[in-house]
A and B are shown apart, each in its own frame.
Chain A
Amino acid sequence: MKVTHPDPERDRIVRFLDALRAAEAAAVRVLAAWISVCRFDGLRGGLRAIAEREAAHAELLEERLREMGEPCSATLDDVVLDMALARFGSGSIPDEEKLALVLARYPDDASAARPIRATLEQLDHDLETREILRLVAEGEAATVAWLRAYHAGLARDA
């Protein structure tokens, strides 16, 4: 179903959705690289579920953009993605260090979801996208909370 978007900030919202879609799709690739060399069974299990969550987000955002009649054209910078794939796919970098790297970007569990929540608050004219983003934001916060809890558990056992 095609949807129209009467808001004058439509372009900004579309760019945000497309950039988020590209970031989620890239995260799936980085997580797959990490899973392939991950040494901890528990971490591997969590990363598998998180990767599927990110893949679902990317798929939902792509579907929504198409319903809005917008192309999916955003991509992550190749250099940034290649560096992330090399780092998280490296068997010589400890999992603890990779967890610390991810968590350093997010000072608290809500910080990963904050830009998404800020955008959804402006979507009173597009309730379908708003509710998609609301659950995507919950998923992002849950991902950071799980990784933080696992990292803290590793530190306790060390």
Chain B
Amino acid sequence: MLRQDPGPEPTRVIGLLDAFQAAERAGAEAVGRWIGACADPRLRGGLKVIRARDARHAALAEARLRALGGAPGARVGRELAALCGVVADPGVSDRSKLALLVGRVPVSEDGPLGRLVREVEGDAETHALLETIADDERASLRWLRTMCEALERERA
């Protein structure tokens, strides 16, 4: 008889979702501070969408990990905390922030969530949830790249 893949351990999925919700929450907060100091209306518009989506991604991940029996408690790592610090800092230029964010993901890569999506294969609901969130993240990254290029052209 064919047996279905049992999928990942729920505790492992809970841990992944917890780390993800903490990262998205920290990202939304940092982008919110960037918006507060940003004078470019194009950037403000797109960043508002990114902040709103990141906050909702955090809420979705938290709801899912609670549905699986977990509780949120993760804190972001030092590297991500440092990145958020730069993004939130009103003294750092928009151009530097954009370059830092788009430089984290090579152009050849599909997006930052690919590995996470693959790790929850076997848990259909979490997998589809993260796959759909990954679409948002890819759109955000594409937009950030476009804005980064636009600001570079305007500077030249």
Contact = CB atoms under 8 A, between A and B. Distances in A.
Contact of B135 (A59, A134, A142): A142
Q: Is the interface of B mostly helix, strand, loop or mixed?
A: helix
Chain A interface residue number, banded: 20 to 34
A40 B128 CA distance: 11
B42 interface: yes
Contact of B136 (A41, A46, A132, A139): A139
B45 A142 contact: no
B1 interface: no
Q: Is the interface of A mostly helix, strand, loop or mixed?
A: helix
Contacts of A48: 60, 63-64, 125, 129
A42 B124 contact: yes
A131 B43 CA distance: 8
Contacts, number: 103
A128 B44 contact: yes
Interface string B102-130: 00000000000000000000001111111
B99 interface: no
Interface string A143-156: 00110001000000
A143 to B, nearest CB: 8
A139 B143 CA distance: 12
Contact of A55 (B42, B56, B136, B142): B56
A139 B48 CA distance: 14
Interface of B: 41-46, 48-50, 52-53, 56-57, 59-60, 63-64, 124-133, 135-136, 139-140, 142-143
Given A53-B53, A132-B46, 8 more contacts: A45-B129, A45-B132, A48-B64, A49-B133, A49-B136, A127-B45, A130-B45, A131-B46
